[in-house]
Homo-oligomer: A and B are copies of this chain.
Amino acid sequence: MTDADLSRFSINQETVKQWSLPELVEGCGKAGVARVGLWRAPVQEYGVERAARLVREAGLTVTSLCRGGFLTASEPGARAAALDDNRAAIDEAAALATPTLVLVSGGLPAGDRDLRGARERVADALAELAPYARERGVRLAIEPLHPMFASDRCVVSTLGQALDLAERFPVEEVGVVVDTYHVWWDDTAAARIARAGAAGPGGGRIAAFQLADWVTPLPAGVLLGRGQLGDGSVDLRRFRELVDAAGYDGPVEVEIFNEGLWARDGAEVLAEVVERYAAHAL
């Protein structure tokens, strides 16, 4: 246990991927952590209803479910399958009683070089999914991913683009994710955070705030290059202050994909994350 104020702290499941879902729940209890962000695959593996009961009975709040999205397919069959899968993700989020489904938009289809067209297909898909999500008490949260993922993972690369998409919909239906790892380099991020916050109370369009640090060299494939808080170049506290100033008072979720962390004892990693959170973000 720590003396740090963990009232907004949430640990994303992927940060301690070495833990099974029951281990995560038990580990959070021991560490005094009351909020978790979950991922679909481990939840499905454990059973959605069973997972929902496990976290509920442990008194844990699920701050977000990662992730829906991958909505850029142009081929009709692939597109219909993606929409079906996203409706399932919305159902899972509702079952877990989390208000937030994180969406990673998807990259360019093979051979396609039209980023703008792909972004428009994301908008079209949001129009189909947003009412379904709203009926189930779930808000879609568009996560801009770092531009290095633009071709293969997410054609939405900046908070500005995410807001351009989100603002086509009511604020209670579609928000954005502010993840320091993805936006730290962007000199327009501060203004975009303010713009997101101006959309309403409680942070407006800011549906989730996630922390990870930027460290180099990047590993091959770059996906698992996220750094432990404090190890890198991101002024984490400044971003926490920016979302706070925008009116956001929701969870601060730590999401780090890092093979070095996964190779260690889960409880040790969680304790270190808590300590770093207090030192660098509070």
> Hey, which bits of chain A sit against chain B, CB under 8 A?
108, 112-116, 119, 146-148, 150-152, 157-158, 160-161, 184-188, 214, 216-222, 232-235
Residues of B within 8 A of A158 (CB): 187
Given known A-B contacts A147-B148, A148-B148, A186-B157, A218 and B222 have beta carbons under 8 A apart: yes
Given known A-B contacts A113-B234, A113-B235, A233-B108, A186 and B147 have beta carbons under 8 A apart: yes
Copy total for this chain: 2
Given known A-B contacts A187-B161, A218-B222, A235 and B114 have beta carbons under 8 A apart: yes
Residues of B within 8 A of A219 (CB): 220
Residues of B within 8 A of A217 (CB): 152, 220-222
22 CB < 8 A contacts A-B: A113-B234, A113-B235, A114-B235, A147-B185, A147-B186, A148-B148, A148-B218, A148-B222, A150-B184, A150-B214, A150-B233, A151-B216, A151-B233, A152-B216, A158-B187, A217-B220, A217-B221, A218-B218, A218-B220, A218-B221, A218-B222, A220-B220
Interchain nearest-CB distance for A229 vs B (Å): 12
How far, in whole Å, are A234 and B220 apart by their CA atoms in the complex? 21
Q: Are B115 and A187 in contact (CB under 8 A)?
A: yes
Residues of B within 8 A of A220 (CB): 217-220
Residues of B within 8 A of A152 (CB): 216-217
